[in-house]
Amino acid sequence: MKRYFFNLYNDDITEDFEGVELADDDAACERAMKEARNLAAESVRCGHLVGNHYIEIVDADRKVVGSVRFDEAVAVS
For the chain, percent helix, then strand, then coil, each to nearest 5? 30, 30, 35
Q: Which residue has the higher pLDDT, 74 or 9?
A: 9
| Alpha-carbon distances of 20 from 3, 9, 25, 31, 68, rounded to whole Å | 5, 18, 12, 10, 17
- How does pLDDT run across 18-72, given as a tens digit for each residue? 999 999 999 999 999 999 999 999 888 888 888 899 999 999 999 999 999 999 9
Count CA atoms within 13 Å of residue 27 on its CB side: 10
Burial of 17: CB neighbours in 10 Å, binned 0-12, 13-18, 19+: exposed
- pTM for the model stands at 0.90
For residue 9, what pLDDT is reported? Answer: 97
